[in-house]
Amino acid sequence: MTTSTLPAYLTSHESAASDEFLQLIDGQLVSGARAADIVDPATGQVFATAPVADADQVNAAVAAAARAYPAWRDLTMDERGAYLSRIADAIEAHAEFIARLVTREQGKPIAQSREDVDSALMWTRYFASWRPQRKVVRDDDEAFVEIVRRPLGVVAAIIPWNFPFFQCLYKLAPALLTGNTVVLKPAPTTPLDAMFLGKLLEPILPAGVVNIVGDDGQTGPLLTSHPDVAKVSFTGSTTTGKAVMSSAAGTVKRVTLELGGNDAAIVLPDADVQAAAAGIFSGAFANSGQVCINIKRVFVHSSLYDQFCDEFARLADSTVVGPGLDEHVQVGPVQNARQFEALRRVLDRAREEGEIIAGGSVEDSAGYFVRPTVVRHIADDSPVVREETFGPIRPVLTYDDLDEVITRANGTEYGLGASVWGRDLERAASVAARLEAGSTWVNQHIALSPDVPFGGRKQSGIGSEFGEEGLATYTDVQVINVRRS
């Protein structure tokens, strides 16, 4: 589908017809029990409506997934992988449509939305071709012992609003490959790409294998507490993750929680300032700073502090901010009005407690635009530093002693990611090893791939996504133990 043939609501600010977006329940595309307005964050205006499920529809979706589970489970992994390949082919055929739809509802620049779709394709094709190695732990005259992985049943996949399409696929693909069926719930403010995915899946998958239900804030608890849901895969805030964990406890559901982060970047005295500033800027402000694993605290050695701050501020001031469908835009709006108002309060706090050297303002427009903002000379105990700021506002702090800065970097309830920047790679890697985070990088950040596990420590989550470890979270262990003598 070329840009010239895309619907008007993907190329202009005209509204979309409400019947273009439907839920997928038991192999049928259906309307919701009610509808919700979807706002374009670049304009602050409603541009589409989306279906919302009620309790009866949620129950119907779970029941359909439960009915579909035995037959899906009993397929071979090659057969399930072939279905995933067909899904990837369908996505690839509509890649530009999906990317522009993501930009309209999420706000990110179109180049980043295209990257999200490309990542969804990469992850889906990777899992489509993945096959487990047989794990025999004993094979002798006395016994044969094998560890096998069995699917769980119905998986509830709960998707956040910052990477709505990519995260649909990186949860669906491993869940389906390992033999589970799925009820997928997109975020209330970014449901359209998931509903379009349902249109693609409807002619490909057997009825009930994947169900997609809409939400206006009430659907999640119905899924996380449902007795017929065997696992919840949730990505979102730590606060909501705690509620999910509590809700799942009643039936001892398996849970994977990928939660908030307050990632630190440490710039060592031997770092290349320009290269480090550019890399950290990308890792800090990607998706308007709305990534759980964005760099959110920057610690720079005092010998480089002024030089780094100048370069970091220059990068912020030169960034093109605007509507994501503009091909020249580098930072789009924040996703929703609630987040926008929260960031206004963060800006006020930053002015009071630090020195703003770039940005510091919201754009004078109807959309939710916040200039990339850099704050220096601010204390570690400021909420701007201590709390997760989900938006384009970043503090730069200074240090002299390496052991001290490692303690400061680790002094948070979060433990998602961290990075170290310096020329001496062995030394930088040794520092990275001391940071309390699920992923620690050297001279890069947000370096993810489908074969490498990704998860958090402390209150940044439980379990892993991606890789063999991520696949394992969609299964239970079964030990087959045969006595031979």
Mean pLDDT computed over 423-452: 98
Which of the four pLDDT bands, split at 50, 70 and 90, describes residue 5?
Answer: low
Separation CA 245–CA 388 (nearest Å) = 20
CATH architecture of 263-442: 3-Layer(aba) Sandwich (3.40)
Q: Summarize the confidence of residues 350-373 as an average pLDDT.
A: 94
**Is there a contact between 21 and 202 (Cβ–Cβ < 8 Å)?**
no
Average pLDDT of every residue of the chain: 95
Mean predicted confidence (pLDDT) in 36-59: 97
Give the pLDDT confidence of 278-322 residue by residue, as tens digits: 999 999 999 999 999 999 999 999 999 999 999 999 999 999 999
- What pLDDT sits at residue 7? 60
Q: Which residue, 226, 382, 235, is CA-closest to 296? A: 382
Whole-number pLDDT of residue 430: 98
User: Over the stretch 96-116, which tens digit does the pLDDT of each residue have?
Assistant: 999 999 999 999 999 999 999
**Spatial CA neighbour of 207 closest among 56, 371, 336, 60:** 60
Average pLDDT over residues 14-21: 55
What the block records as the tokens of 17 is 């017809």
**What are the counts of helices (DSSP H) followed by strands (DSSP E) for the chain?**
16, 22
> Of 105, 258, 311, 465, which residue is the catalytic one?
258
User: Model confidence at 136, in pLDDT bands (50, 70, 90)?
Assistant: very high
Q: Choose among 480, 474, 479: nearest CA to 179.
A: 474
Lowest-pLDDT range, 9-13, 96-100, 212-216?
9-13
**388 has catalytic annotation:** no
d(CA 346, CA 392): 10
19 band by pLDDT with thresholds 50, 70 and 90: very low
- How crowded is residue 237: how many other Cβ atoms within 10 Å of its Cβ? 15
**Mean pLDDT along residues 195-205:** 98
Q: What pLDDT, on a 0 to 100 scale, did the predictor assign at position 3? A: 41
CATH match of 19-259+460-480 with 3.40.50.300:
no
pLDDT tens digit sequence for 329-338: 999 999 999 9
3-state SS of 248-282 is HHCCCCEEEEECCCCEEEEECCCCCHHHHHHHHHH
E strand spans, 41-98: 45-52
What pLDDT is stored for residue 8 in this prediction?
A: 59
* Position with higher pLDDT, 299 vs 8: 299
The pLDDT of residue 414 is: 98
Place 10 in a pLDDT band, splitting at 50, 70 and 90: low
- Residues 245, 233 contacting (CB under 8 angstroms): no
pLDDT confidence of residue 20: 81
Instruction: Please tell me the predicted confidence (pLDDT) of residue 1.
Output: 44
- Predicted TM-score (pTM) of the model is 0.94
Domain ranges of the chain: 19-259+460-480, 263-442
Q: What is the pLDDT of residue 17?
A: 40
In tens, the pLDDT along 234-264 reads: 999 999 999 999 999 999 999 999 999 999 9
Q: Give the pLDDT score at 15.
A: 46
Give tens-digit pLDDT for 142-161.
999 999 999 999 999 999 99
Position 2 scores a pLDDT of: 40
Please say whether the beta carbons of 233 and 68 come within 8 A: no
The per-residue pLDDT for 223 is 97
Q: Which residues of 161-193 are buried (b: 16+ CB within 10 A; e: fewer)?
A: bbbbbbbbbbbbbbbbbbbbbbbbbbbbbbbbb
Q: Using the predicted structure, report yes or no on whether residue 182 has a pLDDT greater than 90.
A: yes
- Alpha-carbon Rg for the chain, nearest whole angstrom, is 23
